Structure 1
């Protein structure tokens, strides 16, 4: 849905990105399909394509700061910020409460 809404439907980069993400069924509990991006980070082309899609979208929006929320934001935010000529600010999540 995201791809279609953002003009990415049919973008050949999406298939490679999707194939580079490992899906771990039933983790951390039954019924959850965990999307493991570490395999995407190991694939130079898929990682570059992921960053490039964000850069293509935000390059001309006069963005001065990119905020990356841990942990995925720490992986993608600096590269996107660098490519669009913005600063990068990492944010740490607040402590989760025990349930």
Structure 2
């Protein structure tokens, strides 16, 4: 795991807006949209994420809907890699494969095109934030089920108190992030 110290990315953390009591009372929602509004901050975010995987070999990047698409697309451009879209049900045309997974408040599903990945391709998983890890773990299972080799996941933000990064590590994923907001 690579965990940049708070001082390394304090400039980026300062660009993330905190919205109290969203989506329900007691939750501090970390809103990355304010970081995306800052051109230099967004560029620095992508450059620093790219630096976390410098010299490593990947065939594709998989981005999780929806904010993860933004991060994954920019990172795909910088690294010169194709991008797999992991989407909510019914959003992709053509033949799809998917997986249902549990959330703390119910179930959800992610899907990808059935031909998005070939067995043995090395896939880097990317999203904006890791909280409980349910969606990221489902993505890993979906990709691995299609034959992909998934060993690394990148996030802009980790909420360590919710345990998602630890759950990914337990599943054999090298989780890396730029910013951690403790006490969530």
Bin for the TM-score computed over the shorter chain: 0.7 to 0.9
1:6 to 2:20 alignment: no
Shift of 1:93: 3.2
Quick one: higher RCO (CA 8 Å, sep 6+), 1 or 2? Answer: 2
Q: Whole-Å Cα distance in 1 between the matches of residues 71 and 17 of structure 2?
A: 17
2:163 aligns to what?
A: none
Structure 2, gaps ≥5 residues long: 90-99, 101-105, 109-184
Q: Secondary structure at the match of 1:66?
A: strand
TM-score, normalized by length of structure 1? 0.81
Q: Deviations over 1:37-57 (max 9, x none)?
A: 111110012111111111001
Aligned pair partner of 1:83 in 51, 72, 78: 78
Counting helix residues as a fraction of each chain, which structure ranks higher? 1
Q: Secondary structure at the match of 1:20?
A: coil
TM-score, normalized by length of structure 2? 0.46
Q: Whole-Å Cα distance in 1 between the matches of residues 63 and 41 of structure 2?
A: 20
Counting strand residues as a fraction of each chain, which structure ranks higher? 2
| Count of aligned residue pairs for this structure pair | 92
Aligned pair partner of 2:48 in 53, 57, 79: 53
| Alpha-carbon RMSD | 2.1
Q: Moved runs in structure 1, 4+ residues, more than 3 A?
A: 93-98
Aligned pair partner of 1:41 in 18, 23, 36: 36
